[in-house]
Structure 1
Amino acid sequence: MSNIPISTQGYKKLEEELARLKNERPAIIQAIREAREEGDLRENAGYDAARERQGMAEARIKYIESRLALYQVIDLDRLSGDKVIFGATVEVEDIDSGGRKTFTILGPDEAAPTKGSISLLSPVGQALLGREAGDEVTVDIPRGRVTYEILSVSFEGSSGLQP
């Protein structure tokens, strides 16, 4: 994917995370230095934990830095329309169970299903893209095949994002 959509808010959060991780580097290096001074590194849990923390931080830094140039930053407050696109909030009803769900369609690096947003690259996100209220979509999800009726498509802008 050459352009990865991301909201202005999502981009800002990643920039803040990158700055925080870079600022943590000296503390991680100091923790490694202190653990190394404790002696035998083969059975030094503090050293192992500090090295693991360093590896995870460096991997995340590299990941974020590699993605920054690929992002297409989109201001959610400027979006509108009748069709499901990036930034749309979609209310659906499961045809079989009658259960209702509301999703905000976001990019893969900011989607948080537990907070009501899904990636436009997810199976449900892909099925919903380009559709409008009244359409039915059938999608294979981990628990099986589900058919949703799209009840509404709205654009709540940045106010619709949960922290």
Structure 2
Amino acid sequence: MEGTKASRAKFKLALVLGLGSLSIVLLFILSLTTGAMEISFNNAMSGLWNLIQNGGAHENTQELVLWQIRIPRALGVIAVGVGLSVAGAVMQALIRNPLVDPYITGVSSGAALGVTTAVLAGVTIAGLGVYLTPIIAFIGAVMAFL
């Protein structure tokens, strides 16, 4: 009986990891076709393949948009998702509460307070532009958690 439980648990883990990986790949590909400039699925895939073969040298505007805007955006989203999942796991481990919720611990409120304060105070830092809001939200969330 124990052997079947362990094998079922391994199968579930493999299934979740496989489906998660597949969804990341599919959403990455979908994100290459989404944006202000219309790029079809076929053009995105051929442009991605050309960029891989040419070492990042682009041949047309669509490949330039892929290489300089959409691929970094998609990779950044994946990195942020990984970071948030690790942060959630660490938070669960530190607090040792299976029902940890950012609203209960005040993390969401701290992030909202940080952004609201920064927006109302007119805080700007040259070079950060749109990246400043999530940075301030993160700082507010960390301050509330501590």
TM-score, normalisation: structure 1: 0.31
Q: Which has the higher strand share?
A: 1
Select the structure with the greater relative contact order (CA < 8 A; seq sep ≥ 6): 1
TM-score, normalisation: structure 2: 0.34
